[in-house]
Chain A
Amino acid sequence: MLSIKGLLVAGVAAAALVTAAQASAAEGEVRIGMITTLSGPGSSLGNDVRDAFALAVKELGGKLGGLKAVVLEGDDQQKPEVAKELATRMVEKDKIDFATGIIWSNLALALMPTFERGQVYFVSANAGPSQLAGKQCNPYFFSASYQNDGQHEAMGHYVQAKGYKRVYLMAPNYPAGKDGLNGFKRFYAGEVAGEVYTQVGQLDYAAEIATLKAAKPDAVFVFYPGGMGVNFVKQWHQAGLKGQVPLFGPGFTFSEDTLAAMGDAALGTLNAAQWSPDIDNAENRTFVAGFTAAYGRLPSVYASQAYDAAKLIDAAIRKSGGKLADKDALRKGLKAAEFKSVRGAFKFGANQFPIQNYYLREVIKDDKGRYLNKLKSVVFTEHKDAYSVECGM
C-alpha cells in the first residue's frame, strides 16, 4: 500500500510540473472549452452544438473578438464524472477563457464550481437550470439559450388557453425535467392526470405508456430530449395513440436533431421554443443556409443556441477590448450582448439569463421530404424567467 501511495504522490507532483509548464496560453488567442455530449442517446444535441459553434467561428474567420479561436473539444458522454474531469483539466491545464457546450443541467450544476474557481465564463449553449437563475445565480454563468422552464411555460400557457382539463405530464428524472414540469404547471391551471418522472436515458416506455393510456387524459405533455424523445414518440405511435390523444411538448422533444428519426410519428405535433428554422431575419437565414450547406442536415434549436453563444462571446471580447484577463470588462461585454441573435431580440436579465420571445411551432414535412418545425404564433413576448427575483445580482 505504501508504495502505491508513493507512486500517487509522485504522479501528482509530475502532473503539477506539467501544469506549470503549460500554464501560459499564447498571446492573441482565446481558448474555448467545448464540453458536450457526443456519444450515446444524447449525442444528437451535442453534435448540433459543436457543429453550430464551429460554423460561427468559421464564419468569423476562425476568430472570436479578433483573437484566434482555439476550441478544445471533449465528449462528456452525458456523465457528470467524465464532464468534471474534462472541466478540471481544461480549466487548470489548458487555461480556457470560456466554457460552453454543456447540454445537461445536472452536469452544468456539477461543473459550475470548477468554472467559478478558475474564473472561467460559462456561456451555456443549452442547460439553464433554475438553481443558477435564482438563489445560486453566478457572475460566471451566462445563458445564451433559455431558462429551463421557458419552453414548458409557453406550452403550459397554450394548453391552458386551448381549454384542456386533464393533462398527463412526463419527463426524465433530473433537474431540467423537474424545472420543465414546474414551468408547465406554472401556466396550466387544470387537473394533472399524472406526473411521471422516468430514469434519464430510459429507452423503453412501454410500461409508462400503458399506465398513461389507462389514466385517460385529455392531453399529454412530454419533455424528452434526444434519443429518449425518439423512442417515446415512436413507441407512442406504435401503441396506436397518435391521433387518439393530443401530444404536446417543449421544442426539445420535437427538435430538428431527432425529427428525422421520429419520421411521421411526430408529424403535426405542436411544441414551443424560443427559435424556429423559419424565423424571418437576416442572421437566421444565413445561419440555416450555412448550417444546412456545411453539414447536410437542418439545424435544431440547440444549434441555434450554440451559434448565438459563439456570437455572444465574439461580441463580449470585442467590447472588452480583447483583454481576456480583465474579467470585469469581459462580464460587462457579455451582459451588453451586442450581437444579432438568430432568434431576433435578445437581452439579458439581472440573473444573466435571456429575456426573449417564445413561439408555438408545428412539425411539418417540407417539399424536400425533410421534417422540420414551422412557426405558428407568438406565445410570449419578452418573457422573463420566474427565478430572477430570487437572484441577488
Chain B
Amino acid sequence: MTSLLLIEQSLNGLQLGVMLFLMAAGLTLVFGIMDLIHLSHGSFYMVGAYFTATFARLTDSFVLGLLLALPAVAVVGMAVELVAVRRLYARDHLEQVLGTFGLILFFNEGVRMLWGPQPIFLSPPAALAGTVEVLPGLPYPAFRLAILAVGLAVALALWGLVNHTRLGMLVRAGASNRAMAGALGVNIPTLFTAVFGLGAALAGLAGGMAGPVLAVQVGMGESILILTFVVIVIGGIGSIRGALVGAVLVGLVDTLARLMLPSLLRTVLPPSQADGLGSSLASMGIYVLMAAVLAVRPRGLFPARG
C-alpha cells in the first residue's frame, strides 16, 4: 500500500515538474540569451489557458482548442517583445523588473475586462476523463498522464531543437556569449523575437493543459511563476537541461514533502496543528532545496555560460 502511494505521489510530483519545465524552458532562455529579468512570463501561461478555454468552446474540442491557442499565444508573445520588451534590453535590471511587472498588471486587467473576473472551469476531453490502471491496484487520472506524456515529448523535441538544428545552435551561442554571437553576424533582434515567441507558446501550452486540472482565472500565472524562478535558479540560467532537472526536482520535493511532513508531524502533534505546520514546512521545502543547491553550486546545476 505504502509503495503504491509513493508511486502515485511521485507521478503527481512528476506532473507538476513537467508543467514547471514547460514554463521554465522558455523563461530560462529569455534570462540566459537576452539577459532580461522577465516577470510577465506567467501572463502567457494565463493567456494560454484563456485562449484554450475560448477556442475549446468555439470548436467544441479541447485538443483543437489547445492546438489553436499555441500559435495565438506565440503571436501575443512576439507582439509583446516587439512593442514593449525590446525597449528594456539595454536598461538596467530594476527598470526591466518595473517594466515587466507593469505587463503583469496590464495582462491581468486585460483578461478581467475581456473574460470577466469569474474563473472558468474546463473539463478534460471525454476520452481522457477517466482513469488508467498504471500498475495493478493503482488507477491514475488519464488526463494527468496525458500532461506527463505531452511534457516529456516537448522536452525531447526541445532537446532536438536546441542541440541539432541551426536555430538551436544560434540559441546556444546566444546563451553562452551574446556579444560574440552578434559579432559573428547572428541577427540578434530576430533571434530574440523568435525565442520570446517560443517561450510564450510553451508557457501557453502549460496554461492550456492546466485549465481542466485547475481553473482558468486571473492571476493564475503568478503562483506558478514563483516556482518557475526557483526551478531556473536550481537548474542554472540559460540551460534547458537544467530547467528539466530543476523542474522535476522541485515537483517531486514539493509533492512528496506535502505528503510526508504532515504525517510525520502527526506522530507528535494533534492533526490540525500537524497539518498547518506540515503544509507550511512543506511549502518551504523547495526553497531549502534551492538554498542547498546554491550553497554547493552557486551558478545552479547546469549553468549555460562558462
Q: Are B272 and A197 in contact (CB under 8 A)?
A: yes
Q: Are B258 and A195 in contact (CB under 8 A)?
A: no
User: With A and B bound together, what is the CA distance between A197 and B280 in angstroms?
Assistant: 11
Q: Which of B96-104, B137-145, B174-182 contacts A (4 or more CB under 8 A)?
A: B137-145
Neighbour of B8 across the interface among A173, A198, A210, A240, CB < 8 A: A210
Given A39-B112, A195-B271, A214-B1; A240-B130 close (CB under 8 Å): yes
Given A207-B12, A239-B139, A240-B130; A230-B279 close (CB under 8 Å): no
- Which residues of B lie under 8 Å from residue A213 when comparing CB positions? 5, 8
Q: Does B186 contact A (CB under 8 A)?
A: no
Q: Does B43 contact A (CB under 8 A)?
A: no
Neighbour of A235 across the interface among B141, B259, B263, CB < 8 A: B141
Contact residues of A between 63 and 115, Cβ < 8 Å to B: 75
Main secondary structure of the interface of A (DSSP, over half): helix
Q: Produce 1/0 per residue, B47-85, CB < 8 A to A.
A: 000000000000000000000000000000000000000
| A-side interface residues, number (CB < 8 Å) | 37
A255 CB to nearest chain B CB (Å): 14
- Which residues of A lie under 8 Å from residue B129 when comparing CB positions? 238
Neighbour of A196 across the interface among B15, B112, B262, CB < 8 A: B262
- Which residues of A lie under 8 Å from residue B275 when comparing CB positions? 173, 195-198
Given A197-B272, A206-B15, A211-B259; A240-B139 close (CB under 8 Å): yes
User: With A and B bound together, what is the CA distance between A171 and B124 in angstroms?
Assistant: 25
B3 CB to nearest chain A CB (Å): 10
- Which residues of B lie under 8 Å from residue A44 when comparing CB positions? 118
Q: Does A349 contact B (CB under 8 A)?
A: no
Q: Which of B28-36, B152-160, B212-220 contacts A (4 or more CB under 8 A)?
A: B212-220
- Which residues of A lie under 8 Å from residue B217 when comparing CB positions? 40-41, 227
Chain A residue nearest to B220 (CB atoms) is A203
Given A203-B215, A206-B15, A238-B124; A43-B4 close (CB under 8 Å): no
B42 CB to nearest chain A CB (Å): 15
Q: Does B119 contact A (CB under 8 A)?
A: yes
| CB < 8 Å A-B pair total | 103
Given A195-B272, A239-B131, A240-B139; A38-B117 close (CB under 8 Å): yes
Q: Are A173 and B279 in contact (CB under 8 A)?
A: yes
Given A39-B117, A211-B259, A240-B130; A231-B9 close (CB under 8 Å): no
Given A44-B118, A239-B139; A214-B215 close (CB under 8 Å): no
Q: Does A234 contact B (CB under 8 A)?
A: yes
Q: Are A230 and B259 in contact (CB under 8 A)?
A: no
Given A214-B4, A240-B139; A207-B131 close (CB under 8 Å): no
Chain B residue nearest to A37 (CB atoms) is B117
Q: Are A206 and B144 in contact (CB under 8 A)?
A: yes
User: With A and B bound together, what is the CA distance between A203 and B139 in angstroms?
Assistant: 21
Neighbour of B118 across the interface among A43, A178, A263, CB < 8 A: A43
Q: Does A261 contact B (CB under 8 A)?
A: yes
User: With A and B bound together, what is the CA distance between A195 and B117 in angstroms?
Assistant: 33
Q: Does B121 contact A (CB under 8 A)?
A: yes
Q: Are A178 and B144 in contact (CB under 8 A)?
A: no
Given A207-B9, A207-B259; A39-B1 close (CB under 8 Å): no
User: With A and B bound together, what is the CA distance between A197 and B141 in angstroms?
Assistant: 23
Q: Are B5 and A238 in contact (CB under 8 A)?
A: no
User: With A and B bound together, what is the CA distance between A80 and B130 in angstroms?
Assistant: 38
Q: Are A207 and B258 in contact (CB under 8 A)?
A: yes
Q: Are A40 and B271 in contact (CB under 8 A)?
A: no
Q: Are A230 and B118 in contact (CB under 8 A)?
A: no
Q: Does B189 contact A (CB under 8 A)?
A: no
Neighbour of B215 across the interface among A173, A181, A230, CB < 8 A: A230
- Which residues of B lie under 8 Å from residue A41 when comparing CB positions? 119, 215, 217
- Which residues of B lie under 8 Å from residue A207 when comparing CB positions? 9, 12, 255, 258-259
Given A39-B112, A238-B141, 4 extra CB contacts under 8 A: A195-B271, A198-B275, A199-B283, A240-B131
Q: Identify 10 residue pairs between A and B in the complex whose beta-carbon atoms are under 8 Å apart, listed by A's number.
A: A41-B119, A75-B117, A192-B271, A204-B213, A214-B2, A227-B217, A230-B121, A231-B213, A234-B123, A238-B129
Which A residues form the contact surface with B (CB < 8 A)?
38-41, 43-44, 47, 75, 173, 178, 181, 192, 194-199, 203-204, 206-208, 210-211, 213-214, 227, 230-231, 234-235, 238-240, 261, 263
Which 9 A-B pairs give the minimum distances between C-beta atoms?
A39-B117, A240-B131, A195-B271, A261-B121, A197-B275, A238-B141, A214-B5, A203-B214, A210-B8
